[in-house]
Copies of this chain bind each other. A is one copy, B any other.
């Protein structure tokens, strides 16, 4: 009968996720917030119907690696081409301001240097799907503001991943000369692979696919390369998540040249709800400090949300102003860069499993995701409609 319960769990996950996705899309919110909510509802936070066992964690972690590879793969570097200068500036401004403000605030909240570094990395990236949907609704996606934000979001994920890779190595690598040189060797190998992949992937793939008799050759070969690199990264004690992301990024031109977009889109659509439900399941306020010390948890959440919002609005806003946007447009760009719910959540989940992130910090990240997602469209509409 144990097997029947696994099936029950799976059915419960999909059913709850889809009902709440439906609800979210009716209030014009991204479906993934529904998935996250589903995890919070059926997980230990509310009903406690599903237990996050070690098995679930292992599968969840595998899903995260796969998903981040797909995120890299689906990144269109071309999005950075037009208005690349303002986009890169906006990204750097946002990442720098948020990272440093978050680090300082966490130290003041009494967290250790490594937890503070970790939370700073989590707040650094942006997830602009809410912004993109809002701009599309206003028919303003293909404006200078729209293109800059899309480009900045691409650059911003890349910077956040580099930062995450460095912080991860700092936390898990150890300080012995042997350990450090092993990590440096790993970085060198990874960087060489990245450069070689970017340069020769098209040629290698042409040979592999040309010689293959399998119908699924182009899809699977891309996936195998990504998984192999992620595995190598893990054995160099670097984060496999970083390896998977950059492998995806290096291979991303193949997606367009081999017309694989729709295949990978389906794969992402199939896997990604499970990741967000899983992220919701991981919230467990009662077994952790949050339940015992509610005021501390709320105080932390308040600080994290304010820093997460201000870091982007100020950092990106000032950078936009310096790139020649007028004041109102600069604020709009800053607000457009506020939302989270992508790479940030992946890093937060990794932080939990490393034991670096405490439950009230995880709770704060989820709060930041919901608050920015709900407020960004409203604020963008006010700012752009008055124009």
* Residue in chain B with minimal CB distance to A61: B3
Question: Closest CB of chain B to A243's CB: distance in Å?
Answer: 10
Chain A, interface residues (CB within 8 Å), range: 35 or more
Chain A interface, DSSP helix/strand/loop, else mixed: helix
Q: Which residues from 1 to 50 on chain A have a C-beta closer than 8 Å to any C-beta of chain B?
A: 1, 3-4, 6-8, 10-11, 14-15, 18, 21-22, 25-26, 31
Question: Closest CB of chain B to A3's CB: distance in Å?
Answer: 6
Picked from B22, B223, B228, B270, the residue with its CB within 8 Å of the CB of A214 is B22
Q: B214 near A31 (CB under 8 angstroms)?
A: yes
Known: A7-B227, A14-B220, A31-B214. 13 other contacts (CB 8 A): A3-B58, A3-B61, A3-B240, A8-B231, A11-B228, A18-B220, A25-B214, A26-B213, A54-B55, A59-B59, A215-B269, A266-B266, A267-B270
Q: Which chain B residues border A263 with CB–CB below 8 Å? A: 266
Cβ-based interface call for A230 (8 A): yes
Q: Which chain B residues border A6 with CB–CB below 8 Å? A: 58, 61-62
Question: Closest CB of chain B to A234's CB: distance in Å?
Answer: 3
Among A221, A240, A270, chain B packs the most CB atoms within 10 A around the CB of A270
Enumerate chain A interface residues (CB-CB to B < 8 A). Answer: 1, 3-4, 6-8, 10-11, 14-15, 18, 21-22, 25-26, 31, 54-55, 58-59, 61-62, 65, 212-216, 220-221, 223-224, 227-228, 230-231, 234-235, 240, 263, 266-267, 269-270, 353
